Homo-oligomer: A and B are copies of this chain.
Amino acid sequence: MTADAAHDSRSPRAAATITHYDDEADVVVVGYGIAGASCAIEAAALGADVLVTERASAGGGTSANSGGLIYMGGGTALQTALGFEDTPEEMFKYLMAACGPAPDESLVAPFVEHSVDHFDWFIKQGVFFKEAFFPDAHEPETDESLTYSGSEDCHPFSTIAKPAPRGHCASVMGSKGAILMNSLIESAQRSGVRVRGDHLAERLITESDGRVVGVVLRHAGEEICVRARRGVALTAGGFIWNDEMLERHAPWLRRCKMKVGTENDDGSAIQMGIAVGAATIRMDSGDITLPIFPPVSLKQGLLVNANAQRFLNEDAYMGRWGEFSLLHQDGQAWLIVDEKSFGQTKNIPDLQVMAGETIQELEAEIGMPTGALQQTVAFYNEHAKHQRDPLFHKHPSHVRPLEHPPFGALDLRPEHSVYCGFTLGGLHIDSHGRVKTPGGEPIPGLHAAGRTTSGISKQGYSSGISLGDGSFFGRRAGQALARAKPV
């Protein structure tokens, strides 16, 4: 729910300098998703008086609507209990390879180093994890709490780092994101964190030296000025709901019919940061997935472009499917299956399917150049007989010849299916959530976390990274703010 529907998200979020305050706190947190809640809990735990402002009526935001996976590892208690070996070194290698191009090592390193503790922290907040592993990536269907949530066990990542499942989620049959956020919000309440719901943050308040000292809120048409003695944290989501920002920075994301986020992910917090001199980075990047995690049997299929060329191992993470299809193949993608793989499929995704009794017929039906798909399937089948995939190194367990008619082509073009996307670019932060200027200096009094920032993932994604880095750098921002000298 938008607090102020008439608000024009395109207007400048210029910084304000004022003298009269309506409220004050040590730490003011803008946005009450996982980054904001984690920030508030940690700041309060260190004795700070914390005020959270949220434009919706209640907290939760996109985090509450999410699948609830948190990317953690390096040997968490849950990984260990379930018999999975993992080390910070392997987790680091995976993330540096999978979150590129050019992930920021200064963020990835602490995220990995403290990941085991971070898992324990969630338990302390009352989040319950069940010692049960969900074997079919990427999101548990029932109440399991651990799963492979990226491409850890797929080529090329399995050759770069020892695979381990790192997608952790609260154990619940229903909405895992909602139960997670309920736990964090209850923990924040126990810590004495104050919350102003239905308050839209409009502008940061700065002093003449540029220090951020408060926030101007709007509530029921009135302007409310809040002083932040120790500083402000911007944790109010990304900009997938701002068409103009998308068009300007990441036009490819506009092809996603489903925007992953609430309508409050309109970039306003990013714009507030920019207005006080913050740098933004990787504004072009985003996560793209199909709204289905393909059933295992469909990984036996062949992902091909308009020329019937394969372009990715089909066992890769869905975000990688989306990225490769939309960024690198202009969205021209089909999944070729046969009766055996399709017939084994439970929960067949809601996609348009073309069919043919032969590959030749199917190729003509799709409109591919004559012979192109026949050649691709023949080459694949020849090696698949020996469970080999010399081109893309799909795991042998998914490799077998496609030879059982009829054959089908699932239409994965974004105009014919529903891609889900959200933004990954945003404010440039350091490992304590301090917001940087383009010159690399921290802006005094201003921190940020979550999808208001560019975090662990610079483009390559695995499920759980946003809840993972949002909570981790949210906590770090809260700690730093609580310890900051009051002004």
Contact = CB atoms under 8 A, between A and B. Distances in A.
Interface in A395-428: 428
B440 A102 contact: no
B370 A12 contact: no
Contacts of A274: 277, 279, 438
Nearest to A306: B391
Interface string A249-271: 10110000000000000000001
B438 A271 contact: yes
Most buried by B among A307, A392, A458: A307
A19 interface: no
Given A251-B101, A274-B279, A439 B372 contact: no
A215 interface: no
Contacts of A307: 310, 391-392
Most buried by B among A100, A102, A281, A438: A438
Contact of A247 (B102, B369, B379, B441): B102
Interface string A372-405: 1001000100100000001110000000000000
Contacts of A371: 379, 382
Interface in A270-318: 271, 274-275, 277, 279-285, 307, 309-310
A375 B375 contact: yes
A387 to B, nearest CB: 15
A247 B370 CA distance: 43
Nearest to A13: B439
Contacts of A102: 247, 251
Contacts of A369: 390-391
Given A275-B277, A369-B391, A372-B391, A282 B438 contact: no
A485 interface: no
Total identical chains = 2
B282 A249 contact: yes
A217 B467 CA distance: 46
Interface residues of A, number: 47
A114 interface: no
A347 interface: no
Contacts of A441: 12
Contacts of A392: 307
B279 A439 contact: no
B439 A281 contact: no
A437 interface: yes
Contact of A281 (B249, B271, B327): B249
Nearest to A382: B371
Interface in A65-79: none
A217 to B, nearest CB: 19
A248 interface: yes
A150 B189 CA distance: 61
Interface string A86-109: 000000000000001110000000
A277 B210 CA distance: 13
18 contacts: A12-B438, A12-B439, A13-B439, A100-B251, A102-B251, A248-B282, A249-B281, A249-B282, A251-B458, A274-B438, A275-B437, A283-B283, A327-B328, A328-B328, A371-B379, A371-B382, A372-B379, A375-B375
The 5 closest A-B pairs by CB, nearest first: A12-B439, A102-B251, A369-B390, A284-B284, A328-B328
Given A14-B439, A275-B437, 17 more contacts: A12-B438, A12-B439, A13-B438, A14-B277, A101-B252, A102-B251, A248-B282, A248-B428, A271-B438, A280-B280, A281-B283, A284-B284, A284-B285, A307-B310, A371-B382, A372-B390, A375-B375
